[in-house]
Structure 1
Amino acid sequence: MAELFLRRLTRWQAEKQRESLADLYVEAYVGVAGEEFRDRQDFLRRFEGHVQQPDFEFAVAAAEELVGCAYGFRVSRSGEWWRGVDQALSSHLEELTASGQVFALAEVMVLPSCRRRHVATRLVDHLLARSDAARTIALVDPGNAPARAAFRSWSWTGLGVSGVASDAPAPEVWSRLPTH
């Protein structure tokens, strides 16, 4: 792989890149053949909502072309993220959320040909370098073993399940305390 460059994009720049990001998503998460259009549309719908969130942050990794991205935002102060999480833990997280101190890592994606080269690690570190949040969280599908292994290798902690999902298995909440 050629030299890798990391850079932040503004909300406006990220929105302008939405089609390229959707292409990256389809390539990064090769799913069931024939479902690419629906997967792409689902990503675009989620991205449209995410990019409007408070304190949206976005980073890309590129060599000769876009190879990955990571983005996130401050968690809504409503506390809905913590339904289904252990009561003692959720009250602490709700308190941090109410004071605007929780950042959600909403997406990390890297092309399969660039995995196992620390691209995701570098992207997440780059994205979170300026964060002043008291805690960073990510929701992970419990069946996504590679994502769970990545979060473990990054010294994140599994906190339990969240009640955010409705018809799918409840995602696991992973957390990282600030490193600064």
Structure 2
Amino acid sequence: MTVNTPDPPETAHPGTPGRQPTLPEVPPQRRRQGPSPEKGEFVRPLTRRQIDDRMRELGELYTHTSSSQVRVSEASDQDRSAAFRRRLAGHMRRPGFELLVAEAADSSGAVVLTACAYGFPVCRDGPWWDGLDGYLPESLLRVAAFGRLFAIADILVERRVRTQDQSREWNLARRLQKRLLSDHTAALGVTLVDRDNADTLEALLSWGWRGLSAEARGVSRIGPRRLLVLR
């Protein structure tokens, strides 16, 4: 599995007639923050046809947003993009599949793709996602039986989304994952992350994902991945 609104200006009070007007006090410096993604980036779902039309663009987004992470192979960007597109095409066949994109205008005014996230509902009696059945405790199987469990397969965002304002509700990754769950009235989200992918694990935890409780952790303690849950 592979991110502020300025304060209103101070209003100066007019000076007393015949006297020099009093200059407004300079407000103290605040911690610098980037612009709120709610203002700058528009989130919307794509249909399957739209995904097909933009598949190459999505592959480029994948290689761009994952380029800062530790690479476990020497595969070229083209190979990694092709592998991502094949994986995405397979996931698209899942019932209830949804992919969200974030778009923003660049300096020339053109609308560009800045992020995406996608997933699908987990059905207890249906096909599992990438061996997910080996990671789900009984408590989550019950949630799946009621159609309230949603697997988020990928969240692709810029490095800044991983490292800045992760706890803010308007953080772009938080907006994407929250929208996926709310669109499907899911009570819980689940995702798998490779145990040696510390960068992604850290980002997911900063966006509100949590590991299994102590009593359920034994389900996946020896697997190559970790299961995280989002409430």
Alignment TM-score, normalising by the size of structure 2:
0.63
Q: How do 1:9-88 and structure 2 match up within 5 A?
A: 9-30=46-67, 31=71, 35-64=76-105, 65-77=112-124, 78=126, 80-83=131-134, 85=135
Out of 135, 146, 150, the position equivalent to 2:188 is 135
User: In proportion to residue count, which structure has more helix?
Assistant: 1
Residue 170 (str. 1) matches residue 224 (str. 2) = yes
Summarize the Cα distance change of 1:98–1:129 in structure 2 as closer, same or farther, 3 Å threshold: closer
Q: Deviation digits for residues 21-65 of structure 1, max 9, x if unmatched?
A: 011111111246652122112101110111111111111111121
2:138 is aligned, of 91, 101, 119, to 91
Higher strand proportion: 1
Alpha-carbon distance in structure 2 between the residues aligned to 1:98 and 1:129? 18
Q: Take 2:205 and 2:96, find their aligned partners in 1: how far apart are those partners?
A: 26
Which of residues 31, 41, 61 in structure 2 aligns to 1:4? Answer: 41
Matching residue of 1:112: 159
Residue number in structure 1 paired with 2:197: 144
SS of corresponding position for 2:189: strand
Unaligned runs of 5+ in 2: 1-34, 106-111, 165-170
| Unpaired stretches in structure 1, ≥5 consecutive residues | 164-168
- Tell me the TM-score normalized by structure 1: 0.79
Equivalent pair of 1:82/1:93 in contact (CA under 8 Å): no
Aligned partner of 2:189: which letter?
Answer: T
Identity of aligned residues (%): 33
Equivalent-residue separation in structure 2 for 1:161 and 1:155 (angstroms): 22
Q: Which has the larger radius of gyration?
A: 2
In the aligned structure 2, how far is the partner of 1:24 from the partner of 1:162? 34
Residue 190 of structure 2 aligns with an amino acid whose one-letter code is I
The residue number in structure 1 matching 2:20 is none
**CA drift at 1:102:** 1.4
Provide closer, same or farther for how the CA distance between residues 73 and 42 of structure 1 changes in structure 2, counting only shifts above 3 A. Answer: same
Q: Which SS does the other structure have where 1:129 is aligned?
A: helix
Partner of 1:166: none
CA RMSD, aligned part only?
2.6
